[in-house]
Structure 1
Amino acid sequence: MKALDADAVRVAMPFPLVSGGAAADRIAEALGTPNRTIHGEKANVMAFVVRRFVDRGLLFDLSANTDGTLHHPGQVEEVCRREDLADLVAAETPLGPEQAAARLRVRRVESDHMVRLGWVRSPQSIEVRFSTSRAGAVDVALYTTASVDAVPAAHPEVD
């Protein structure tokens, strides 16, 4: 098998690819809510949303790296021009376990039962460190807003 020539690939692609973080920044700009990371502010659109767009087929990941994504800039711009962009971002915005419980207006333990029953699924988790050592790291599940909002309609039998 012949090895790929990196320079030949670069020549064939006259445009630089866009990282997941940069795609999130462009989407936020398109919504008129630029991502600012001044003073530790949370981004308005996070790379989590971009990964959900990949899962939904709205964007394609051109990277072989499992830690990040790369996207065609034209495709990112096409997504940014969508009329329903704000709704798409809102549906894919991540919620942590406490946020999901609050959104459902239930206690965290009840929300955890919904997860165990499979009513809410986590497409991704993040590692949160509570100290500088690896022993202080915990995986925290993230849920999409749309999946949490779907629970009451899917299970009206639950008070």
Structure 2
Amino acid sequence: MFDEAGAAVRLRVSLAAWRWAAGSGLVPAADAGEGRWSRVVVESVDAEGVRAGLRGPVPACWAAERLTEALGVPVPLRRPRVTAAAVGHLVRAGYLVRLGGEREFPDVHPDQVAALARRRDLPAVLDRCVPLGPGEAAVRLGVRRTDFDHVVRLGWVSPVGRVDVDLGRACGGVVEVPLYSAVDVALLPVVRPAVDWWGVRRTGPGRRSLLAVLLPVVPGGDLVELGEVARIAGVGRVAVTSWRRRLPGFPPPVAGQGTGVRPVFERRAVVAWLLAAGRLAVPGAPGTASLRVSGAGTRTGAVRTVRLDDPVLVLAEAVTGTDRVSGWLPETGADVLDVLGEGPAGLAVERLTAPGAGAVGLGVLGGARVSERVRSGGGWCWVEVSWPARVRGR
């Protein structure tokens, strides 16, 4: 009977090659217990085939960069970069095979990384399998780190694990860092609909968090009525009443709270049921708009295309009004808009493709300005570009 190391020695192949062959199905499954093979199985394996099957391995940092690139360039809004530690979590979840290296930062097969990078559900896989540190959780939520610290203080999320991180002697040595479920973090704006998340996300550096005035939830006191359950699920109250009556497993009302007419339920239990029943989805990537701009009245010919994430387009009903488009973009993109709009004629929007702009988009000959800009950590800015409605064209 052989474990993985013994099997590799018996066939005179590297341990990484055996691990890849076992993980990818090139050799029979372990038949003598978990991670153990019988002599008959090991000696029946084609050693040359095992050696030929391995290309690599590659370190976890390389795999992390490839997966980050697969998310998009630049990395999409509210999506943290994939780290080497995240590769370790993907190995433990069974999406990659550890070929060597440290257990927390494993070496993996480049072809398997490439296959994972091609998956359309890669963001969902990362949310399910990779817990986030406080800084990464703030990025996933789209807020500043100080805002996320308030989220923790309020008791809205709890750690799902902890990890020791060595910051070096000058920074305090080894510290314990809490880890949070990416799904729980991403769902916060959905399950806490009463919070002004739009305002929280637009709070700039140095300003007090809008969450600072809120009080923490008390144990057993995070309760919701049917009306708020309906808001969380994005349906009417009648639908929730029907679910409660027809579908199994709906959480029971909290005893001693509410009334027979207005029962109350534990928020966490309701959210868990909605997810399990397929009535609630983790928010995906926000929508995008494409903004092709140039400096109006200039002869430089400088034309740039920037991408606005989570855009909002408001078109005035009267020609005397003002049109506005707002959204998030990297700080470098905001700088491009500022530079092009420095002239007296402002910006010319050669083409705007966004929800609400119509199938062919719209254009603005000139007079567009960056009317507001808020920097909110993580290298992103919220900007609003406005122009007189009378100069709008299609």
- With normalisation by structure 1, the TM-score equals 0.63
44-53 vs 9-18, which moves further: 9-18
Find the aligned partners of 1:137 and 1:61 in 2 and give their Cα distance: 26
Using the TM superposition, give the Cα deviation of residue 87 of structure 1 relative to its aligned residue in structure 2, in angstroms.
3.0
- Count of residue pairs brought into register by the alignment: 143
Aligned partner letter, 1:69: P
CA RMSD of aligned residues (A): 4.1
Change (3 A) 1:87 1:137: same
CA distance in 2 between partners of 1:75 and 1:157 (Å): 36
C-alpha separation between the residues in 2 aligned to 1:147 and 1:157? 10
The residue number in structure 1 matching 2:9 is 4
Is the strand fraction higher in 1 or 2? 2
Q: In structure 1, what is the Cα distance between the partners aligned to 2:176 and 2:106? A: 21
Partner-residue secondary structure (3-state), 1:26: helix
2:337 corresponds in structure 1 to: none
> Given the superposition, is the C-alpha separation of residues 130 and 109 from structure 1 closer, same or farther in structure 2, using an over 3 Å criterion?
farther
Assess, with a 3 A threshold, how the Cα gap between structure 1 residues 60 and 138 changes in structure 2: closer, same or farther. Answer: same
Q: Secondary structure at the match of 2:97?
A: coil
Alignment of 1:156 onto 2:267:
yes
**CA positional deviation for 1:15:** 1.3
Superposed displacement of residue 67, structure 1: 4.4
Q: Relative contact order: is structure 1 or structure 2 higher (C-alpha 8 Å, sep ≥ 6)?
A: 1
Describe the shift of the 1:31–1:132 C-alpha distance in structure 2 as closer, same or farther (beyond 3 A).
same
* Deviations 1:64-93, CA, capped at 9 Å, x for gaps: 633420112221111011011133335536
Which residue of the other structure, out of 126, 129, 148, is the alignment partner of 2:167?
Answer: 129
Cα distance change, pair 157–27 in 1 and its aligned pair in 2 (3 A) = closer
Residue type of the alignment partner of 2:116 = V
Give the deviation of 1:103 after TM superposition: 5.0
**Superposed, which structure 2 residues align to 1:5-24 within 5 Å?**
8-9=13-14, 12-13=51-52, 14-24=54-64
**Residue 49 of structure 1 is aligned with which of 86, 89, 97?**
86
Q: Name the structure 2 match of 1:38.
A: none
**Residue 148 (structure 1) shift:** 3.7
User: How high is the sequence identity, in percent, across the aligned residues?
Assistant: 23
Alignment of 1:31-42 (within 5 A): 31-33=71-73
SS of corresponding position for 2:65: helix
Q: Which has the higher helix share?
A: 1
Distance 1:150 1:110 in 2: 15
Per-residue deviation at 1:20? 1.4
Counterparts of 2:106 and 2:127 in 1: how far apart (Å)? Answer: 20
Structure exhibiting the larger radius of gyration computed from Cα positions: 2
Residue from 178, 194, 206 that aligns with 1:141? 178
C-alpha deviation, 1:121, in angstroms: 0.9
Return closer, same or farther for 1:150/1:121 CA change in 2, 3 Å cut-off: farther
- Specify every segment of 5 or more residues in structure 2 that has no aligned partner in the other structure, as ranges: 18-47, 192-231, 233-250, 252-265, 270-394
- Residues 157 and 184, structure 2, Cα contact 8 Å, conserved in 1: no
Separation (CA, whole Å) in 2 of partners of 1:17 and 1:48: 17
Deviation of 1:33 (Å): 3.2
Give the direction of change, closer, same or farther, for the CA distance of 1:105–1:80 in structure 2 (3 Å limit). same
TM-score (norm 2): 0.29
Note closer, same or farther for the CA distance 1:141–1:71 as it changes in structure 2 (3 Å cut). same
Unaligned runs of 5+ in 1: 36-42
